[in-house]
């Protein structure tokens, strides 16, 4: 969560070397799932597409209660990038139903519903979570990952009340990386503070958060979320419309589109074209 991904990848490479020698399915699953997690975040989507089912082949029999949700949620992230969420929606709903104690999975379902236009369902669920101060999401290793999904959900729904509450809760963790091993790495918390600040009209704060997020996501090498941050930053600037904002937004959109095309972020590329 501190965002030293390169050090983590060095450690993972050494772990992979040892695991290949041991050839034990549970450890092979752990390594392959982590490699898939990194591939999704760094923009190696073709590699992730191969690694996700490979990891599952090792984990399905040895660690099913862990491997099944990781497989489905990694497939969800990949589908979200590629603009084919309808294909994975039933599996995500099944995972949420099968693991009711994992509240972070419910955050993924809210995000899914908001993405595919089930706004009434997403808003109702978000209202229920906000009514209890989002306390249903335990403050554990999954908290930042789940909160990043809720942040995007609130923004997709244009829910300023939820956005304001989530901003205050996430603000103390601005320097961290939103991740849940090995479900996923979702990039700098600053980027989520940026979109929440935009939704609540705090555009000066949003500008600072986006600048920090660009630096953090670039440093970490999480290119999928770097492209997203550039797009979100550009949208804020276009909404603010101060002198120089349109030019800066144009540069960010051009850069985000080039990166999206390179990586294969089909859904983001389409949103950029519509901006």
Q: What is the pLDDT of residues 50-99, one digit of tens each?
A: 999 999 999 999 999 999 999 999 999 999 999 999 999 999 999 999 99
Tokens of 52: 């996700």
Q: What is the pLDDT of residues 205-240, one digit of tens each?
A: 999 999 999 999 999 999 999 999 999 999 999 999
Q: Say whether 233 sits in a helix, a strand or coil.
A: helix
Residues with Cβ within 8 Å of 158's Cβ and at least 6 positions away in sequence, in order, are 199
Question: What's this model's pTM, rounded to 2 decimal places?
Answer: 0.95
Nearest Cα residue to 195 out of 134, 146, 150, 144: 150
| Separation of CA 13 from chain center | 23
Q: Say whether 177 sits in a helix, a strand or coil.
A: strand
Taking the CB of residue 8, how many other CB atoms lie within 10 A of it? 18
Find out whether 194 and 211 touch, Cβ atoms under 8 Å. no
Beta bridge partners of 185: 179
Q: Say whether 124 sits in a helix, a strand or coil.
A: helix
The three-state DSSP-derived secondary structure of 67-103 is: HHHHHHHHHHHHHHHHCCHHHHHHHHHHHHHHCCCCH
What's the mean pLDDT in 247-253? 98
Beta bridge partners of 177: 188
What's the mean pLDDT in 132-161? 97
Q: Say whether 178 sits in a helix, a strand or coil.
A: strand
**Strand spans (E) along the chain:** 177-180, 184-188
For residue 18, pLDDT beyond 90: no
Residues with Cβ within 8 Å of 6's Cβ and at least 6 positions away in sequence, in order, are 220, 221
- Distance, in Å, from the CA atom of 194 to the CA atom of 163, rounded to the nearest integer, reads 11
- Distance, in Å, from the CA atom of 196 to the CA atom of 148, rounded to the nearest integer, reads 10
- Distance, in Å, from the CA atom of 195 to the CA atom of 271, rounded to the nearest integer, reads 16
- pLDDT confidence bin for 2, thresholds 50/70/90: low
What local confidence, expressed as pLDDT, does residue 12 receive?
A: 76
Residues with Cβ within 8 Å of 264's Cβ and at least 6 positions away in sequence, in order, are 43, 45, 46, 81, 82
Q: Which domains does the chain have, with CATH numbers?
A: 5-274 (1.25.40.10)
Tokens of 90: 């039933």
Torsion of CA 136, 139, 144, 145, to 10 degrees: -60
At how many degrees (to 10) do helices 25-42 and 45-62 cross?
160
- pLDDT confidence bin for 3, thresholds 50/70/90: low
What's the mean pLDDT in 95-116? 96
- Distance, in Å, from the CA atom of 207 to the CA atom of 232, rounded to the nearest integer, reads 10
């Amino acid at each position: 969560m501190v965002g030293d991904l390169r050090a983590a990848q060095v450690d993972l490479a050494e772990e992979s070397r040892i695991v290949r020698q041991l050839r034990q399915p549970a450890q092979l699953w752990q390594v392959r799932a982590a490699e898939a997690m990194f591939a999704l975040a760094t923009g190696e989507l073709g590699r992730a597409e191969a690694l996700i089912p490979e990891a599952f082949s090792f984990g399905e029999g040895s660690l099913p209660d862990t491997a099944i949700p990781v497989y489905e949620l990694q497939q969800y992230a990949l589908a979200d990038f590629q603009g084919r969420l309808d294909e994975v929606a039933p599996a995500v709903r099944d995972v949420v139903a099968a693991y009711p104690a994992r509240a972070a999975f419910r955050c993924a379902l809210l995000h899914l519903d908001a993405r595919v236009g089930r706004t009434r369902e997403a808003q109702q669920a978000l209202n229920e979570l906000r009514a209890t101060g989002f306390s249903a999401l335990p403050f554990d290793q999954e908290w930042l990952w789940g909160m990043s999904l809720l942040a995007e959900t609130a923004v997709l729904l244009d829910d300023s009340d939820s956005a304001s509450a989530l901003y205050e809760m996430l603000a103390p963790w601005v320097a961290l990386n939103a991740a849940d091993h090995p479900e996923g790495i979702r990039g700098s918390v600053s980027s989520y503070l940026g979109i929440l600040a935009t939704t609540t009209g705090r555009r000066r704060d949003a500008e600072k958060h986006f600048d920090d997020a660009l630096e953090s996501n670039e440093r970490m090498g999480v290119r999928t979320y770097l492209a997203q941050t550039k797009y979100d930053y550009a949208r804020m600037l276009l909404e603010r419309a101060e002198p120089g904002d349109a030019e800066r937004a144009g540069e960010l959109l051009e850069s985000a589109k080039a990166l999206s095309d390179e990586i294969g972020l089909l859904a983001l590329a389409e949103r950029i074209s519509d901006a």
